[in-house]
Amino acid sequence: MGTRKKVHAFVRIKPTDDFAHDMIKYGDDNKSIDIHLKKDLQRGVVNNKQTDWSFKLDGVLHNASQDLVYETVAKDVVAQALDGYNGTIMCYGQTGAGKTYTMTGATENYKHRGILPRALQQVFRMIEERPTHAITVRVSYLEIYNESLFDLLSTLPYVGPSVTPMTIVENPQGVFIKGLSVHLTSQEEDAFSLLFEGETNRIIASHTMNKNSSRSHCIFTIYVEAHSRTLSDEKYITSKINLVDLAGSERLGKSGSEGRVLKEATYINKSLSFLEQAIIALGDQKRDHIPFRQCKLTHALKDSLGGNCNMVLLTNIYGEAAQLEETLSSLRFASRMKLVTTEPAINEKYDAERMVKNLEKELALLKQELAIHDSLANRTLVSYDPMDEIQIAEINSQVRRYLEGTLDEIDIINLRQIQEVFNQFRVVLSQQEQEVESALRRKYTLIDKNDFAAISAVQKAGLMDVDGHLVGEPDGQGFGLGVTSFSTKPGKKSKSKKTFKEQLSSSARKEGASSPVSGKDFEVSTSKTQLTPSSKEGDVKDLPLRDLETSSAEPLPSDSPKEESRPPRPSTPPPKPVAFEDFKNERGSEINRIFKENKSILNERRKRASETTQRINAIKREMDMTKEALNFQKSLREKQGEYENKGLMIIDEEEFLLILKLKDLKKQYRAEYQDLRDLKAEIQYCQHLVDQCRHRLLTEFDIWYNESFFIPEDMQVSLKPGSSIRPGMVPVSRLVSLGEDDQDKFSQLQQMMLPEGPDSISFYNAKVKTEQKQVGLEQRGSLC
């Protein structure tokens, strides 16, 4: 276990114009806060009521920005979570003091985001900085409302409502919520979408102290699991970060709550009172029993309160004199929390399957070691221990010296050493292949031999003959590249002309390669720009495949005309929109046709998805009506008296028909819902291919426009056969819009104009998706 450490407690004061400077003062170290109350003269001269308090904390945040709050309170906790330590960050305080703003922030403004979205960003940034580990991130969002547990992410279509109520379960690994959905997130934007989805489902209400008061406790949990990519060790680490936004304590006389809000306030104050009792018990070293089970909040946070966890409390208080009593109560809670100690330790787990495989492999190696030891009985010193990093580095050095010729032979010691020698040969060979490839990429441009448009342009540039062999590569093997000298003339052999293998060997010598590379070809994979629908859609199955075969078997009609038939160049380049229309009708007609067909298929899928959604809504309404009728029949049967025959309930024909109808409707609903999910997957795939096709059309137009209007006349000779300039080597600064819809334009404008930079793109994209979903649900509700 780890060493014990105290809980860190910070205080954040809500900014106000009526700050009580004469009653609230901060220490010089910014780690203490003093409260002074004036004596009540009405109580007389003898008045022993306490008027001064001093609280020692880990930090006082006054007029602090969201950036400073996160750097001070949460950054270290999140960073240690990726090393295997659990962490909990809790916001506590009076209602309206700024707990939710501190934890979640203003979701409309990226700059004002709170601890929770910043923690998600930090987790994914740190994952990118650790390529040696395979790290998975999962999240869950729990709400405790009136002592009942709710899953804030149950509204997602693939989750659905739980049949059984959620319960808190304890096991040797800790406390977990049975029935709470946990969602895998592979990227930052997905995590933000889940956060915003849960935020829309939270329960809030209005009273005199706060217009948007949270009426429940919420726990957003980030689960991290890290496996090493480089080590075959069966050990891996797990951790979780609990981000707790507590509902605010409130005095009913000040908040003026009544009705449902009054009931909610009663439950909130009760659970916070139990939380304080648990904290007092944890701070008392003489207490053996800690009352965690008094309420759902303390039971769910049992691991965090005094357990294996890095715990941080952020207390939000008012700075006004009118709220001084509640401020004192919150500061007392923070002081009690500082007395609590936790014992954080790295959460290491073992993969049983990998452990068995490693043990089997180790057993086989030991048997081979003993066999060699028996055969080499004359050798007295044989080490059977696994090699450490220093020994591996020494073997790598020996292999390199052997390849360079400075070492005549490598001495054989044991089987492990032999295996590591071969492994290091593989490592060195792979490194040298990468070095040679990078050197070639700096000197040449690799092309895809299946890209007929590029091959046609290369032939026109004189880099490939009519038989499909690259110039400088008469045997037709090796890399898809080659450059001829400017002095090469048709019909004559150039003495300075090199074969590809000579170019490769000279490049390797220049880059310091010490051993030959393998003869395997480099292949540049290209994405398909023609849409291929699923086998379910018979009406459009043959057309895209036929187009794809045509585009693959024949060069796209994007080949520029021959030099002698090229029309004279205009004095000034035409506007790009005009040139783009000409390009789509001539050289880019084939790509434009494929793009339009893909776009039409995408629109057709969207239309079918909309029709399927309408059918699902209609079936749902009919199911609801059938259920109401069935319930009415059941109640009528119960009133009239139930009849049984041999222990079986007897129902009338009308109720029986309603049951059959409801069963059929449920079957139709499941079938339609499955079709809708399939359509959504197809739409996503179609959209991806449409974007690829659009990008290719723009790239082809960019190359054509530069070659046609920007290359000087005296350099046109460089584009003739035998030249070193090939299509696409002249860059451009801008691309032309290609019939983008409003969403495409918004995405491009967003990336260029966001003041916070590219880091905020995931945040805003997730926010836009959540808002669009809410609008769709509202429209669907109005239709129903």
Q: Hey, where are the domains in the chain?
A: 5-37+50-350, 352-384, 386-462, 576-711
Give the closest residue to 67 by CA, choosing from 123, 104, 115. 115
The dihedral over CA atoms of 225, 229, 234, 235, expressed in degrees to the nearest 10, equals: -50
Tell whether 25 is in a known binding site. no
Give the closest residue to 671 by CA, choosing from 619, 625, 709. 619
Q: Is the dihedral of CA 373, 376, 382, 385 positive or negative?
A: negative
Tell whether 489 is in a known binding site. no
Query: What is the pairing mode between strands 348-350 and 32-36?
Result: unpaired
Q: Which helix (H) or strand (E) holds 314?
A: strand 310-317
Tell whether 99 is in a known binding site. yes
Q: H helices within 572-720, ranges in order? A: 576-585, 589-640, 653-709
Residues paired with 348 in a beta bridge: 237
Give the closest residue to 207 by CA, choosing from 325, 91, 96, 320. 96
Tell whether 97 is in a known binding site. yes
How far is residue 143's CA from residue 162's CA, in Å, rounded to a whole number? 14
pLDDT at 25: 87
> Which parts of the chain sit beneath pLDDT 70?
1-2, 40-48, 160-162, 205-212, 232, 252-257, 374, 377-385, 444-569, 571, 642-649, 710-758, 775-784
How far is residue 274's CA from residue 264's CA, in Å, rounded to a whole number? 16
Q: Which helix (H) or strand (E) holds 139?
A: strand 133-145
Q: Which helix (H) or strand (E) holds 53?
A: strand 52-56
pLDDT at 71: 93
How far is residue 283's CA from residue 332's CA, in Å, rounded to a whole number? 13
Decide: 594 and 693 in contact? Cβ < 8 Å.
yes
pLDDT at 211: 62
How many residues can be counted in the chain?
Answer: 784
Decide: 727 and 457 in contact? Cβ < 8 Å.
yes
- String of b and e for 397-436 (b: at least 16 CB within 10 Å)? ebbbebeeeeeeeeeebbbbbeebbeebbebbbeebbebb
CATH number of 5-37+50-350: 3.40.850.10
pLDDT at 267: 86
What is the tens place of the pLDDT at every residue in 111-132? Answer: 888 999 999 999 999 999 988 8
| pTM exceeds 0.85, yes or no | no
How far is residue 304's CA from residue 43's CA, in Å, rounded to a whole number? 44
Decide: 225 and 135 in contact? Cβ < 8 Å.
yes
| Residue 657: DSSP 8-state | H
Q: Which helix (H) or strand (E) holds 204?
A: strand 204-207
Residue 49's CB is within 10 A of a number of other CB atoms, namely 8
pLDDT at 434: 87
Decide: 36 and 52 in contact? Cβ < 8 Å.
yes
Decide: 44 and 375 in contact? Cβ < 8 Å.
no
Query: What is the pairing mode between strands 648-650 and 341-342?
Result: unpaired
Give the closest residue to 167 by CA, choosing from 291, 304, 293, 311. 293
Fold classification of 576-711 is: Helix Hairpins (1.10.287)
Tell whether 98 is in a known binding site. yes
Going from the C-alpha of 92 to that of each of 7, 278, 630, 728, the distances in angstroms are 14, 15, 48, 60
* E strand spans, 496-575: none
Residue 238's CB is within 10 A of a number of other CB atoms, namely 17
- String of b and e for 266-299 (b: at least 16 CB within 10 Å)? ebbbebbebbbebbbbbbeeeeeebebebbbbbb
Decide: 137 and 123 in contact? Cβ < 8 Å.
yes
∠ CA(397), CA(399), CA(404), 5° rounding? 95
